[in-house]
Chain A
Amino acid sequence: MNFDYAPAPESRDLVTIDAHYGLFIDGEFVEPTDGTSFKTINPATEEVLAEVSEAGPNDVDRAVRAAQAAYAKVWSKMPGAERAKYLYRIARLIAERSRELAVLETLDNGKPIRESRDVDMPLVSAHFFYYAGWADKLEHAGFSDAPRPYGVAAQIIPWNFPLLMLAWKIAPALATGNTVVLKPAETTSLTALAFAQICQDAELPAGVVNIVTGDGATGRALVEHPDVNKVAFTGSTEVGRQIQRAIAGTTKGLTLELGGKAANIVFDDAPLDEAIEGIVNGIYFNQGHVCCAGSRLLVQESVADDVLERLKSRLTMLRLGDPMDKNTDIGAINSPAQHARIAELIAAGDEEGAQRWTAPCVLPDKGWWIAPTVFTGVTQAHRIAREEIFGPVLSVLSFRTPEEAVIKANNTPYGLSAGIWSEKGSRTLWMAERLQAGVIWANTFNRFDPASPFGGVKESGFGREGGRQGLGAYLQREVR
């Protein structure tokens, strides 16, 4: 029987989106000084969702001053146990509103509702809950007997996991006693603005969290503001480089979580069915808009044909389409710019002679879409094996021995994550010790948890988010 699933759309009525949003500064929504705004668009329908304010240098300055005042007058004086209670409140408010926030995220970002509902939102709430508990235990965290926050933290986050990246930034910053000015990505501001309302509902003291929306110029003004004490950035390596240059020679603390080109390594003794799922989850989760995506499949040559055949067969079952449909596996590409970038690299793969296979999906007429794509016959000398694509495009390479797998996996300027699929524990641990990556998933992929440190090495950045180690990003390093 042909078992076509009927449409199962999540209700859009769960959220109310304002026509226009101001900036969240000093506990209130305010209009930008020069009144500029931009449109935020549903990438699955091209529908305009709202107008969002663009913060100029004056607005950034207001936000930093608000954060500075809140730090000096309120937050730095408040006992950790009290800070914790605000974070617990926020965690609870997010959990209570998670269904609504999931819908808002999916509308603004284009990711499948199944993912925003089952992955993003539970992790957002959990992250605040986790760091809430640290706020009154910092002296036991192993950094110092008297750990000192930086003061005002400037935080810039990407569009791929908008609210989750906000949580990864704000929760540890507040727990350690910093105040923040956060800039969400310009294509995905709405959940950050909803979070601002949650801060109001939690009665978080004014100025502790400030949210300035805008593009790269807003971000630059924020990073370069002289009264910012700490910069935390998640995004592309190129922008990370610019930020690191911009603050060179200052006393600002810096942590960077940048790009990746992770190897997902499948050995001939892998648990094969789970490995196939891991490959799929590694690169097609969130349309491949994942910095730690397993974008290079390194498969042992002796099982390569079998793995590829199974993978393609599995990919034909992926359901691409309306992100609001509860059965959608692959949603929309977040923006036309990103779509163009992915298309360019796919064209490069074609031109350089790799063999392209595309899952037989019907792409909707409106919005921006890319069907799951697999390139075989890829070597280290192909652009698609070197550059981060940040889309649903897998490059398949083969290897013969564990040594060769390590060499190929490490042969990249990036070092964010890696995957190992093998039933042989001894070899897995041997590999894990040699792979240059901040996160290594063995017989799993793309797992996240507030207690688990995340972050990269080499050009994937430095500093960790999550776990005890994640506190270090927001406490002044004591070096003597």
Chain B
Amino acid sequence: MDDRVEVRKTYKLFINGVFPRSESGRTYPALDSKGKLLAHAALASRKDARDAVLAARAAQPGWAARDAYSRGQILYRIAEMLEGRRDQFETEITRCEGLSARRATGVVNATIDRWVWYAGWADKITQVLGSSNQVSGPYFNFSVPTPTGVVAAVAPARSSLLGLVSVIAPIIVTGNTVVCLAAPEKPLPAISLAEVLATSDLPAGVVNILTGQPHTVGPWLAEHADVNALDLSGVDDDSLATEMAVGAAGTIKYALPPCDSDWTLDPGLGRLSAFMNTTTVWHPQGR
């Protein structure tokens, strides 16, 4: 056994590109799959959620206005960085999820591949979901998918890395920004992902990650008037899902229902299209 004393990491929140502690000053114990303490994670409060929404809102117009090619490049670069830190992720999900080393490798592979898959959609999704519409009359009419804006997401509770990435990547690749609640029992891979994002070219505020309890923070995000849509994928409690869906109705937010499925399946376009609206433009054709 190595005599050296390990330098332990403090796990904090990820808001606007930096890592603050919770403004509440509170933490909660994150345990490994056998119940042993891994770390104390920050317990996000409603004010942290508010700060995260502010950051996401501030970042959104610029992120959406960036060339899609550039968004794709930035996301692809993140995949490169994930590959470089794969050992760390394998270790963390082994501990958090109790996976064998081999399965952990498989999950990290799938995670990186998922990220690359979504990164490539940045400058293609408009061609697939958009259309030129043959209206009757002398008009040029086209429809383009446009980002919804700020999305609040609850990451899946069981799949702490692959599930998390499968939720975040389709939201941001199309120009949305996100405030994501990490899996409450397994928050560590989410914060390690945040460390990758923080050192990447991703603009501050595009991804904000909160650790803590969906029960305390989720409803605040659901009702927040400056949040445009909800991804309830990871909400595994029916009453919380209903409470958040009711909250969403206050400002007519689309809420993607809970869906903590098999994250290794081919994702299809469902998540990409869920957080885009169609904008249709009419223009006359005359001399």
Binding site for B on A (CB under 8 A): 126, 142, 144, 237, 240-242, 244-245, 248-249, 251, 256, 258, 413, 428, 432, 437-444, 447, 449, 451-455, 457-462, 464, 467-469, 472, 477-480
Q: Given known contacts A249-B242, A256-B252, A479-B259, what 16 new A-B pairs fall within 8 Å (CB)?
A: A244-B249, A249-B239, A413-B251, A438-B277, A442-B281, A447-B282, A452-B135, A452-B143, A453-B280, A458-B228, A459-B252, A461-B252, A462-B277, A467-B143, A469-B278, A478-B270
A-B complex: 6 closest residue pairs judged by Cβ atoms: A249-B242, A248-B245, A244-B249, A449-B135, A479-B270, A248-B246
Contacts of A455 in B (CB 8 A): 277-278
Candidate in A144, A251, A469, A480 with the most chain B CB atoms within 10 angstroms: A480
A452–B139 CA distance with the chains assembled, in angstroms? 11
A459 to B, closest residue via Cβ = B252
Please encode chain B, from 66 to 108, with 1 for each CB lying within 8 Å of some chain A CB and 0 for all others. 0000000000000000000000000000000000000000000
Q: Is the CB of B250 within 8 A of A241?
A: yes
A244–B250 CA distance with the chains assembled, in angstroms? 9
A451–B248 CA distance with the chains assembled, in angstroms? 30
A241–B278 CA distance with the chains assembled, in angstroms? 21
From residue B109, how far is it (CB to closest CB) to chain A in Å? Answer: 18
Q: Is the CB of B133 within 8 A of A451?
A: yes
A479–B266 CA distance with the chains assembled, in angstroms? 10
Q: Is the CB of A467 within 8 A of B131?
A: yes
B255 to A, closest residue via Cβ = A248
Contacts of B257 in A (CB 8 A): 251
B25 within 8 A of A: no
B128 within 8 A of A: yes
A127–B189 CA distance with the chains assembled, in angstroms? 50
Contacts of A460 in B (CB 8 A): 252
A469–B146 CA distance with the chains assembled, in angstroms? 13
14 cross-chain CB contacts under 8 A: A126-B136, A249-B246, A413-B251, A440-B280, A444-B283, A452-B282, A457-B228, A459-B252, A469-B278, A477-B274, A478-B270, A479-B268, A479-B274, A480-B268
Contacts of B262 in A (CB 8 A): 480
A444–B286 CA distance with the chains assembled, in angstroms? 12
A446–B283 CA distance with the chains assembled, in angstroms? 12
B141 within 8 A of A: yes
B241 within 8 A of A: yes
B284 within 8 A of A: yes
B254 within 8 A of A: yes
B265 within 8 A of A: yes
B222 to A, closest residue via Cβ = A248
Q: Which of B200-257 contact A (CB under 8 A)?
A: 225, 228, 233, 238-239, 241-242, 245-246, 248-252, 254-257
Q: Is the CB of B135 within 8 A of A451?
A: yes
Binding site for A on B (CB under 8 A): 128-129, 131, 133-137, 139, 141, 143, 146, 148, 225, 228, 233, 238-239, 241-242, 245-246, 248-252, 254-257, 259, 261-263, 265-271, 273-274, 277-284
Q: Is the CB of A480 within 8 A of B265?
A: yes
A47–B223 CA distance with the chains assembled, in angstroms? 46
Contacts of B245 in A (CB 8 A): 244, 248-249
Q: Is the CB of B252 within 8 A of A458?
A: yes
From residue A299, how far is it (CB to closest CB) to chain B in Å? Answer: 20
B257 to A, closest residue via Cβ = A251
Partner of A469, one of B137, B143, B271, B283: B143
Q: Is the CB of B268 within 8 A of A440?
A: no
Contacts of B277 in A (CB 8 A): 438, 455, 457, 462
From residue A34, how far is it (CB to closest CB) to chain B in Å? Answer: 31
B145 to A, closest residue via Cβ = A469
Given A249-B245, A438-B278, A439-B279, are A458 and B134 also a contact pair (CB < 8 Å)? no
From residue B259, how far is it (CB to closest CB) to chain A in Å? Answer: 5
Q: Is the CB of A438 within 8 A of B280?
A: yes
Q: Is the CB of B279 within 8 A of A437?
A: yes
Contacts of B268 in A (CB 8 A): 144, 478-480
A258–B274 CA distance with the chains assembled, in angstroms? 19
From residue A469, how far is it (CB to closest CB) to chain B in Å? Answer: 5
Contacts of B225 in A (CB 8 A): 413
Contacts of B263 in A (CB 8 A): 480
Contacts of B259 in A (CB 8 A): 479-480
A416–B26 CA distance with the chains assembled, in angstroms? 42
Q: Is the CB of A458 within 8 A of B251?
A: yes
Contacts of A413 in B (CB 8 A): 225, 251
From residue A249, how far is it (CB to closest CB) to chain B in Å? Answer: 3
Contacts of A437 in B (CB 8 A): 279
Partner of A245, one of B131, B143, B249, B273: B249
Contacts of B239 in A (CB 8 A): 249
A340–B46 CA distance with the chains assembled, in angstroms? 42
A23–B172 CA distance with the chains assembled, in angstroms? 48
Q: Is the CB of B248 within 8 A of A248?
A: yes
A414 to B, closest residue via Cβ = B252
From residue B141, how far is it (CB to closest CB) to chain A in Å? Answer: 5
Q: Is the CB of A480 within 8 A of B261?
A: yes
A317–B137 CA distance with the chains assembled, in angstroms? 27
Q: Is the CB of A441 within 8 A of B282?
A: yes
From residue B220, how far is it (CB to closest CB) to chain A in Å? Answer: 16
Q: Is the CB of B249 within 8 A of A452?
A: no
From residue B17, how far is it (CB to closest CB) to chain A in Å? Answer: 25
A469–B269 CA distance with the chains assembled, in angstroms? 14
From residue B87, how far is it (CB to closest CB) to chain A in Å? Answer: 28
A304–B280 CA distance with the chains assembled, in angstroms? 28
Q: Is the CB of A453 within 8 A of B143?
A: yes
Partner of B270, one of A251, A442, A462, A477: A477
A454–B252 CA distance with the chains assembled, in angstroms? 17
Partner of A258, one of B129, B228, B252, B281: B252
Contacts of A251 in B (CB 8 A): 257
Contacts of B242 in A (CB 8 A): 248-249
Q: Is the CB of B249 within 8 A of A449?
A: no
